[in-house]
Structure 1
Amino acid sequence: MAQFSTSDIAAYAVVLLGTIVYFTRGVYWGVAKEKTFASSYPGTKRNKPAKTRNIVEKLEESNKDCVVFYGSQTGTAEDYASRLAKEGKSRFGLETMVADLADYDYDNLDALPKGKVVMFVLATYGEGEPTDNAVDFYEFIAGEDVSFSNSSDPPLGNLNFVAFGLGNTTYEHYNAMVRNINKALEKLGAQRIGMVGEGDDAAGTMEEDFLAWKDPMWTALANKMGLTEREAVYEPVFVITAAEGLTKDAPEVYLGEPNTMHLEGVEKGPFNAHNPYVAPITESRELFTVEGRNCLHMEIDISESNLSYQTGDHIAIWPTNPGKEVDRFLNVTGLLSKRDSVISIEPSDPTGKVPFPTPTTYDAIVRYYMEICAPVSRQFVATLAPFAPNEQAKAEMTKLGSNKESFQEQISDKCLNIAQTLEEIGGQDKWTAIPFSALIEGLNRMQPRYYSISSSSRVQKSKISITAVVESTHIPGRTDALKGVTTNYLLALKQMQHDDRSSDSNGLSYHLTGPRNRHIGVRVPIHIRHSNFKLPTDPSKPIIMVGPGTGVAPFRGFVQERVAQMKAGENVGKTLLFFGCRKQTEDFLYLSEWEEHKKVLADKFSLITAFSREGPAKVYVQHRLQDYAKEVNELLQEKAYFYVCGDAANMAREVNTVLVKIISEQRGIPESEAEEFVKSMRTSNQYQEDVWS
């Protein structure tokens, strides 16, 4: 046996201690500096979801009078919830907090004191479904056997609540979430204050619907709760301080990374809406043959990620803001010279959350974390008026914030973002007086964009195809085109892959190599969102697909899958695809592929086309659907599944109308009866939509 001296043992102890500190990053020894970032990011060490899941305890310990719960899928409902909480505090002195529905239990809502008020801001997702973070709450409160902590009668007679919903009239179950929750709460004895508000995304009136609802709601709430309105004074939600001693190159400073793992250069799953996988783009190509318009086909490799998808699912692309708009924003707010300064951000209220990782830099926040290119809201313009650089700008901002028509004409119709608005109103003057906290509060955090996957998981398990038109729209009253943030980012990645910088992604520039240049090769951050837009489990069932333009994306995957089923000897039903574009010589997507699929599927596959700009009259997919009325009706009688993908406001609605007409005429029944038949198809999942506004 080896003999060790005292000095040997001491030396080994030092080595062992050093090894432990290194591999634990000092978490047990106070060596590692705590990182501060929002609760939506894995590995959080502060701002975690509430320590207690008891909302009554939380309100009492934080001395709050009002909780604003949100059910949000894309961040808009969360933004409205934050705005309500802030307005309640500034106008009425109401002590408010914002809460994610997923962070709390609900069986003690009956124990809330009568002096408290609960607000619900609830988005409806898909066909009348709750958002992901509101599923448990919805199933609990709308369930048949709701059980609370007390035995009150009625169970929620103590609860005062307010409700606003975010919906889309294109869908049959418009604002179903807020309507169903309101109905369930009232059934349980809860007392609603004011009207139920409903915003319509399809009409583009969501913001105005919200503003029109909230003022009478505040009046009703003030009367009910005995609140006295005061002159609104801006109180920052966040405390922003210079991170002394830190430069942007310091390893603990976030430069656009979404979480700790990415900051430390460790790409580790599970990959999801809080933790993207930075995936290689293995192939990218242009699908259009006309100059001035772009449509991208991309193949994204997920073989090293443990991610999986099913045909019909969605891929989320995590974009970055273009350099041109980043510079514009930093310049107009007077932050251009401070772009690389490191700042720490803390909530001024313990119940608050910082929406992105910190410490970070102004440049990283504006480039990666904030939606600076989104249309600006009228309410936000009004809040910035006191910080105008001169009296003329202050008067104009006040007018725009209070006058719906002026705002529509000068800002909304031109689709101006916040920096463009400040440039327009302030002229050559910089808006240096705006507290940075106000900008964080008034702008949503950057959200991933979802695209229908245009490949079959059966055909290519480890690769995802996407099909996306690059958005570049000329707006009257603007000298530059309105650019889609994500599609132009993808275009820049495609140009990088082909070493083609001639068009410079429509005049924009992006940080394509990611924070700290860690995106080696051509890569894009992604995650997968599972969808209910699915082929029938029985491949012998006929399917009818309507997908003009890039609405054909999921149907490319559907047809690929049917070809694979046919090759495997399975019985495949009739497959009817209605596809529309402008001209067959310019934007006919995947023409050669459809021809190859026809060789395999033979008479089981029919492609019916509509070219809107080739004849004297415009022909759209709904017109071609009517042309094939007899076959469509026969297939529906054979229990065919009917799918629509594309524009919700016009195409999808008109397709629904035409289908009702076809059923009515072909079966000799009243249109009202045909409408009920189509509704029953939707209910049984025989009619499915994957649409967008």
Structure 2
Amino acid sequence: MAQIDALDIVVLALLLVGSVAYFTKGTYWGVPKDPYASSYANGSAAKAGKTRNILEKMDESGKNCVVFYGSQTGTAEDYASRLAKEGSSRFGLKTMVADLEDYDYENLDEFPEDKIAFFVLATYGEGEPTDNAVEFYEFINGESPTFSKGEEEKPLGNLKYVTFGLGNNTYEHYNSMVRRVDAALRKLGADRIGAAGEGDDGAGTMEEDFLAWKEPMWEALTEKMGLEEREAVYEPVFSVEEKPELSADDDTVYLGEPNKNHLEGKQKGPYNAHNPYIAPIAESKELFTVKDRNCLHMEIDVSGSNITYTTGDHVAIWPTNAGVEVDRFIRVLGLEENRHRVINVKPIEVTAKVPFPTPTTYDAVVRYHMEICGPVSRQFVSTLAAFAPNEKAKAEMTKLGTDADYFKSKISSQYLNIAQVLHSVCPDQPWSAVPFSCLIEGINKIQPRYYSISSSSYVQPKKISITAVVESIRIPGATHIVKGVTTNYLLALKQKQHGEPHPDPHGLTYAITGPRNKYDGIHVPVHVRHSNFKLPSDSAKPIIMVGPGTGVAPFRGFVQERAEQAKRGEKVGPTILFYGCRRRDEDWLYKDEWDSFKASLGENLTIFNAFSRESPGKKVYVQHLMKQNAKLINDLLTKKSNFYVCGDAAHMAREVSDMLAEIIADERGVDLKKGEEVVKNMRSSGAYQEDVWS
């Protein structure tokens, strides 16, 4: 018999420990003292020491209703929280909100008949599930998902569910996530209560779609489950306790740090949507030559972070709210004297999660964690009516909350944020009766903003380039200008890097140096999100790119990469770019660089420029140039060219897709329907790729 030495025993022990950890998904390990030191720092949604069995969790916490969410930017999570809260306050349901990636689904066939599941599901990109919903989506849509009771014809016969989807009609696969999940659940025997709701961000009607759907849904659910509606009274989900014994200077108090590693001054990966890397900005510059508009180019240094990216990926920028908006919010809510007072926030509801680490301060929560400049929901306005400073303000808030047209004319059409709404309703008194817990629950957590990376990982693997137009929108008839939260933050960083005096006439200032001056120098919190928007693996394959404005960002990376490949002697195929801007002398992005790329690629790089405002009375757009070069496009498509579109989804991307179908039909002598079918097949095969936004 072979001898077992000490090394063998150590190896066997490590294998045993690893196996236990894998098969129990960590449920044997103790809960960490500070969850923000582990799961938030490492981006793991599954919390150590907690069950992944949803039925066990519901029994432990006495719940009869679970609201699952699949969310990419936090909106679906917000709607899930609102449904859970309303179900509890209006109908007495014992609700909990659940992240789809926190649980397993093999035992959904054991879901009790007297309980209900909600699924609030956003569709991401081209009909894909959100990152946190991938495993659930693949399981429920599998050819034959295996449930705990074994093979049954209708394994989910006991499951009663409600579902609402968040989509964008400018994408081809509009709300496909909720539609496919709904179809899969029904195929497996589940019983849907009410209609499958669909909200449309593309039409700007998401909030009203949600409100219109939920009332008939509650009626159907009340009838099905024998619920009784009661008067809804605000019931806090979180307790907010002021801690006078603590000072904002104490090193245990979070002043905007996202997790404990950051609090302790450590940079520790992996870096992701829960844990940013504080990256130096190596270089920044203005790309426009006009004074009233800004477009920034920035080089973000990720060396030493182990962050990697591939050409075509996205970089996430973690923004900070502008000082003027923080001050306005603090002032309107009557928190000026207490803004730096330390508070401890804890969940009253056992399944609720505090969306930021505590103890912290009012100022830190508002500055770093709340989306205080975001759109205001009519439902939230209704909630706040109860805390109005006087009866007149209460009446106005009630009307705003119940009259959709009035709300649109007064609030949403003016793009007012919540502090502006409250001030407009009652400018003379602070809203000091509003519980801070209500604000935490009703205002979304501020989310990272994603930008297409405008550099090649082949050329500069440790520096990430971004290209961003600084948003500044003047609303007709309004006295204020809507400023983009993240792009103006980046502009402030660029101005500091170049020692420029702050020129903004609207008083935007930022805590540029971050919590406790930990971003000293010119730093920005970032992480990378991988994308399917990719160059073909064969560099000899032709590519056609359409990217007006900052839609050219990923294509700068594509061309930069192909130019470098050509320099190194690799075979590079035809590289065609359709680019559009207003005027060649104002906003032609990277004008000087294209010549250097052309020097490397020669005939293999062709750029068609559309200048929309150079010819009086005649606007020229990229789709017009496509039409003029229809034969070239069709010839390259017959040679298996990849076709790429980047930019505005609502108009440009749809019009480019329609134009391509028209070109194919005309050049091949077929009807338009056949051309559209070819484009659809290109999408399915990955030959047609989009990186678009609404």
TM-score category by the smaller chain? over 0.9
d(CA) in 1 for partners of 2:648 and 2:69? 27
**Could you say which residue in structure 1 is the equivalent of 2:667?**
666
**Could you say which residue in structure 1 is the equivalent of 2:473?**
473
d(CA) in 2 for partners of 1:374 and 1:39? 29
d(CA) in 1 for partners of 2:381 and 2:491? 32
**Could you say which residue in structure 2 is the equivalent of 1:14?**
none
Secondary structure of 1:166's match? strand
**Could you say which residue in structure 1 is the equivalent of 2:57?**
58
Contact 1:312 1:453 in 2 (8 A): yes
Contact 2:42 2:274 in 1 (8 A): no
Deviations 1:498-541 (CA, angstroms, capped at 9, x unpaired): 11124148630000000000113100000000000000111111
d(CA) in 2 for partners of 1:73 and 1:655? 26
Contact 1:452 1:553 in 2 (8 A): yes
**Could you say which residue in structure 2 is the equivalent of 1:202?**
202
Contact 1:284 1:494 in 2 (8 A): yes
Secondary structure of 2:87's match? helix
**Could you say which residue in structure 2 is the equivalent of 1:24?**
none
Which residues of 2 match residues 138-177 of structure 1 at below 5 A?
138-151=137-150, 152-177=152-177
- Amino acid of the structure 1 residue aligned with 2:63: K
Contact 1:38 1:44 in 2 (8 A): no
**Could you say which residue in structure 1 is the equivalent of 2:8?**
none
- Could you tell me which runs of 5 or more consecutive residues in structure 2 were left unpaired when the two chains were aligned: 1-31
**Could you say which residue in structure 1 is the equivalent of 2:211?**
211
Distance 1:50 1:421, change over 3 A: farther
Deviations 1:232-258 (CA, angstroms, capped at 9, x unpaired): 111011111012411101111000000
Contact 1:38 1:356 in 2 (8 A): no
- Could you tell me which runs of 5 or more consecutive residues in structure 1 were left unpaired when the two chains were aligned: 1-32
Secondary structure of 1:658's match? helix
1:478 CA displacement: 2.1
TM-score by length of 1: 0.94
Runs of 4+ in 1 over 4 A off after TM superposition: 33-40, 43-47
Contact 2:64 2:114 in 1 (8 A): yes
Which residues of 2 match residues 445-456 of structure 1 at below 5 A?
445-456=445-456
Secondary structure of 2:118's match? strand
d(CA) in 2 for partners of 1:688 and 1:44? 29
d(CA) in 1 for partners of 2:141 and 2:409? 43
- Amino acid of the structure 2 residue aligned with 1:499: G
Distance 1:46 1:69, change over 3 A: closer
1:97 equivalenced with 2:96 (yes/no): yes
Deviations 1:438-468 (CA, angstroms, capped at 9, x unpaired): 1011111110000000000011111011000
d(CA) in 2 for partners of 1:573 and 1:456? 17
d(CA) in 2 for partners of 1:82 and 1:119? 11
d(CA) in 2 for partners of 1:38 and 1:382? 37
- Amino acid of the structure 2 residue aligned with 1:496: K
**Could you say which residue in structure 2 is the equivalent of 1:571?**
571
**Could you say which residue in structure 1 is the equivalent of 2:134?**
135
1:207 CA displacement: 1.0
1:45 CA displacement: 13
- Amino acid of the structure 1 residue aligned with 2:235: E
1:145 CA displacement: 2.1
Deviations 1:306-340 (CA, angstroms, capped at 9, x unpaired): 11110000000001000000000000000011100
1:304 CA displacement: 1.4
Contact 1:35 1:252 in 2 (8 A): no
1:50 CA displacement: 7.2
Contact 1:543 1:574 in 2 (8 A): yes
Which residues of 2 match residues 334-483 of structure 1 at below 5 A?
334-483=334-483
1:656 equivalenced with 2:657 (yes/no): yes
Query: Greater shift after overlay, 77-86 or 37-46?
Result: 37-46
Secondary structure of 2:386's match? helix
**Could you say which residue in structure 2 is the equivalent of 1:532?**
532
Query: Greater shift after overlay, 150-159 or 45-54?
Result: 45-54
d(CA) in 2 for partners of 1:148 and 1:473? 52
Secondary structure of 1:182's match? helix
Distance 1:43 1:471, change over 3 A: closer
**Could you say which residue in structure 2 is the equivalent of 1:108?**
107
Contact 1:281 1:522 in 2 (8 A): yes
Which residues of 2 match residues 108-127 of structure 1 at below 5 A?
108-127=107-126
d(CA) in 2 for partners of 1:596 and 1:428? 60
- Identity over the aligned pairs, expressed in percent? 66
Q: Quote the RMSD (CA, aligned, Å).
A: 1.6
d(CA) in 2 for partners of 1:681 and 1:153? 36
1:43 CA displacement: 7.4
Deviations 1:461-491 (CA, angstroms, capped at 9, x unpaired): 1101100000011012322210000000000
Secondary structure of 1:282's match? strand
d(CA) in 2 for partners of 1:666 and 1:103? 51
- Amino acid of the structure 2 residue aligned with 1:586: E
Contact 1:37 1:355 in 2 (8 A): no
**Could you say which residue in structure 2 is the equivalent of 1:7?**
none
d(CA) in 2 for partners of 1:398 and 1:101? 35
Query: Greater shift after overlay, 393-402 or 44-53?
Result: 44-53
Counting matched residue pairs gives 661
Contact 1:34 1:45 in 2 (8 A): no
d(CA) in 2 for partners of 1:138 and 1:473? 38
d(CA) in 2 for partners of 1:209 and 1:218? 15
Secondary structure of 1:61's match? helix
Deviations 1:257-307 (CA, angstroms, capped at 9, x unpaired): 000000001111111111110000010000000011000000010111111
d(CA) in 2 for partners of 1:188 and 1:676? 31
Query: Greater shift after overlay, 358-367 or 145-154?
Result: 145-154
1:570 CA displacement: 1.4
1:307 equivalenced with 2:282 (yes/no): no
Deviations 1:34-63 (CA, angstroms, capped at 9, x unpaired): 547599623799994671111111111111
1:80 equivalenced with 2:102 (yes/no): no
**Could you say which residue in structure 2 is the equivalent of 1:186?**
186
Contact 2:43 2:271 in 1 (8 A): no
Deviations 1:552-611 (CA, angstroms, capped at 9, x unpaired): 000000000110111111111111101111111100000110111112211111110111
Distance 1:40 1:84, change over 3 A: farther
Contact 1:664 1:670 in 2 (8 A): yes
Distance 1:203 1:217, change over 3 A: same
Secondary structure of 1:293's match? coil
d(CA) in 2 for partners of 1:495 and 1:130? 38
Which residues of 2 match residues 597-608 of structure 1 at below 5 A?
597-608=597-608
d(CA) in 2 for partners of 1:303 and 1:48? 30
Secondary structure of 1:338's match? coil
Query: Greater shift after overlay, 393-402 or 496-505?
Result: 496-505
Secondary structure of 1:367's match? helix
Query: Greater shift after overlay, 139-148 or 324-333?
Result: 139-148
d(CA) in 2 for partners of 1:416 and 1:262? 33
Distance 1:362 1:576, change over 3 A: same
Secondary structure of 1:413's match? helix
**Could you say which residue in structure 1 is the equivalent of 2:256?**
256
**Could you say which residue in structure 2 is the equivalent of 1:317?**
317
1:689 equivalenced with 2:690 (yes/no): yes
d(CA) in 1 for partners of 2:382 and 2:434? 12
**Could you say which residue in structure 2 is the equivalent of 1:18?**
none
d(CA) in 1 for partners of 2:46 and 2:324? 33
TM-score by length of 2: 0.93
Deviations 1:348-383 (CA, angstroms, capped at 9, x unpaired): 111111010110000000000000010111111111
Which residues of 2 match residues 261-280 of structure 1 at below 5 A?
261-280=261-280
Secondary structure of 1:81's match? helix
1:486 equivalenced with 2:486 (yes/no): yes
Distance 1:298 1:555, change over 3 A: same
Contact 2:42 2:275 in 1 (8 A): no
- Amino acid of the structure 1 residue aligned with 2:119: F
- Amino acid of the structure 2 residue aligned with 1:489: Y
Contact 1:38 1:354 in 2 (8 A): no
- Amino acid of the structure 2 residue aligned with 1:263: L
1:112 CA displacement: 1.3
